[in-house]
Structure 1
């Protein structure tokens, strides 16, 4: 952001400075309004991220428990057989906008059903493990989207806060100082002109 160059001490220069100050003040107000909305959204996303992390970690613990039971009951060969016939998951999400800031939202994870030709898991624990790991993928997708959204909005919060600070602490004070200087210069010029007119009038009289 450039600093005001200081227009010549004229009424037109003063009008330009007043307009620049008005624009800067209006811009700061709009940015502060945007910042309030972003902060509220960021706090909500941070809560969603924390809840998502807890849900994902709990899902992982549950799945690992069932997996361990299944391996203890059927051995690693039963685990390898149970893994056959399961296709890759499809992870998608869509975006939404918060005061112009686009971020991911509403994750979905499609997990294909087991192939009809594939053998079913060798014991009940592995059946539960398969269902539990499906839940791990779903919870992980929601957690990943919430985390990324919190990062995107958080970065915009920091950037907007920096812009507001630059306007309020630097740009607007400099405009006001320049306006005060030009007001003083015009006042002195008008005073000098008035003295000069009285002097000329006195000499003519």
Structure 2
């Protein structure tokens, strides 16, 4: 890694000290951000897991009713009642330490039109309602997963920045400052020796 280029003398030492102070303060702030993000990420991961379980449960139940309905009425019974009613999704947003992510997702599944043909049997009625619940649960799961992913990405990025500061940038500044301090100390020692030498010469001359 290339050596830091700093102005010579006390100006360089002052710049290094200021840079080191800024780097240490930045690392401390990032450490605090990291703690907040880590706690929030754990909460979002738990919420994602719960939402995934709900979605799987709703989907499994709907598929079970569908199989019963098909056994009772055959595949043609499903074709006769198949009507496309697009759901509407509304996502609300929030932020955690500057990271924008979904807070919740509301999915509205339209109710059946009274003029639509009714399902051929009760099992298909339950299947239709079950799939509507599964769609809503799927939207909630997608929002929870997106939130966990966004905060997790920022958590990793912040961890990399902290590591770069603590393991690389701050040690480089400290090493450069130590070199400058050593050089200034040597110069001051040499100046003191020269002054003493000149003073001794002047004293002998008198």
Q: TM-score range by the shorter chain?
A: over 0.9
Please report how far the alpha carbon of residue 173 of structure 1 lies from its aligned counterpart in structure 2 after TM superposition: 0.4
What is the CA RMSD across the aligned residues, in angstroms? 1.5
SS at match of 2:133: helix
| Corresponding residue number in structure 2 for 1:69 | 68
Contact 2:13/2:181, CA 8 A, preserved across alignment:
yes
- After superposition, give the CA deviation of every residue in 1:37-77 in whole Å (9 maximum; x if it has no partner): 11111111111111111111111110011111112222222
SS at match of 2:74: helix
Cα distance in 2, alignment partners of residues 82 and 72 from structure 1: 15
- Equivalent positions of 1:1-205 (< 5 A) are 5-84=4-83, 86-205=84-203
TM (norm. structure 1) is 0.93
Please report how far the alpha carbon of residue 4 of structure 1 lies from its aligned counterpart in structure 2 after TM superposition: 6.0
Please report how far the alpha carbon of residue 117 of structure 1 lies from its aligned counterpart in structure 2 after TM superposition: 1.4
Please report how far the alpha carbon of residue 119 of structure 1 lies from its aligned counterpart in structure 2 after TM superposition: 1.8
SS at match of 2:106: strand
Cα distance in 2, alignment partners of residues 106 and 147 from structure 1: 11
Which runs of no fewer than 5 residues in structure 1 stay unpaired?
A: none
- After superposition, give the CA deviation of every residue in 1:21-51 in whole Å (9 maximum; x if it has no partner): 0000011111111111111111111111111
Contact 1:64/1:129, CA 8 A, preserved across alignment:
yes
Cα distance in 2, alignment partners of residues 20 and 113 from structure 1: 63
Cα distance in 1, alignment partners of residues 163 and 124 from structure 2: 57
SS at match of 1:31: helix
Cα distance in 1, alignment partners of residues 86 and 5 from structure 2: 65
TM (norm. structure 2) is 0.93
